[in-house]
Amino acid sequence: MKSSVLNYRHLRYFWVTAQEGSFTRAAERLDVAVQTVSVQIGLLEQDLGAALLTPHGRRLVPTAAGRQALDYADQIFQLGERLREAVQETSGKRAMRLTVGISDALPKLIAFRLLEPVRALPEKLSLICHEGDFEDLLADLAFHRLDVVLTDRPAAVSGSLRLYSHLLGECEISLFAAPGLAEQYRNNFPGDLQGAPVLLPTRENALRGRLDQWFAANDLHLDLAGEFEDNALLTTFGGAGLGLFPAPAVLATDIAAQFSALPVGALTGVREQFYAISAERRILHPAVEAIQAGAKGLL
């Protein structure tokens, strides 16, 4: 006779295996034998009356029934983690935790400024930041490994990932350069930019298309001296004098202080947007609420 009570250990083994894509990696993460994982998931499938995982190439992926089970498992284990944190916070044993994913395309000075309000919260906070590729961060968010992703673009509407994009604000973009280059190109801006060395984000970056359009609209043909996926690297090379580089105008003081770079001119009409992406339609985490509120004054 089958038990009428769901075995949450079996469900957790399935949840981890669906995330990892293989019994072997799931076993390593759970610190158990591969056979144990396989057997426990088999018992769960027997209990639920449906296959939950199926091979797809070299990975295990959820079946239709598995995707539905995974959605419930996400909610169950996310609530379980929140229960533990809530009890520990109430008893004073644990600080509130905020795990943030920061897209490698997001200006790091913007990320720092967006995260500043969380330091003013009355609760003790443990802040954990992960930088990475946009799509990888969204996958981690969908599996609740992150509380929020800060990025320069919204998440695409997808049936497989239930993610919600919250616009924090936008700001105007200017060109910056080391003092020598800034002096050379700022007097007759943008007319003197013809042939100027420039450092730009790669074409996968949401801002790149707007920059290219602005240069074309002003009939400018620049010397593309470098392309960068990582915004911090772009700014570092720009501060070292390798070329003019774009950055949010609101960061002029920070860029001058950290990279000794000066504004050359504003790219009128070119604006960069910033988003907080969550796995929930409404922002519930108090630290993320603080980020949203603080962004209104920054952007």
CATH number at residue 256: 3.40.190.10
pLDDT value at residue 158 = 65
| Residue 84 included in any domain | no
The answer to the question of residue 3 being in a domain is no
- 144 or 91: which leads in pLDDT: 144
Residues 290 and 162 in one domain: yes
Residue 1 clears pLDDT 50, i.e. is over it? no
In angstroms, how far is the first alpha carbon of the chain from the final one?
Answer: 61
- What SS3 state is found at 22? coil
Q: How far is CA 85 from CA 35, 97, 98, 192, in A?
A: 32, 8, 11, 57
In a domain, 1, yes or no: no
Domain count, the chain: 3
Predicted pLDDT at 56: 87
For residue range 158-211, list pLDDT tens digits in order.
Answer: 656 678 999 999 999 999 999 999 999 998 899 889 999 999 999 988 899 999
Position 107 pLDDT exceeds 80: yes
On whether the CB atoms of residues 141 and 166 are closer than 8 A, the answer is no
Global pTM exceeds 0.75: no
Same-domain pairing of 108 and 143? yes
Query: Domain limits at 133?
Result: 90-169+275-298
Write down the pLDDT at residue 110: 93
Q: Summarize pLDDT for 231-280 with one digit per residue, the tens.
A: 999 999 999 999 999 999 999 999 999 999 999 999 999 999 999 999 87
* Angstrom distance (rounded) from CA 119 to CA 97: 12
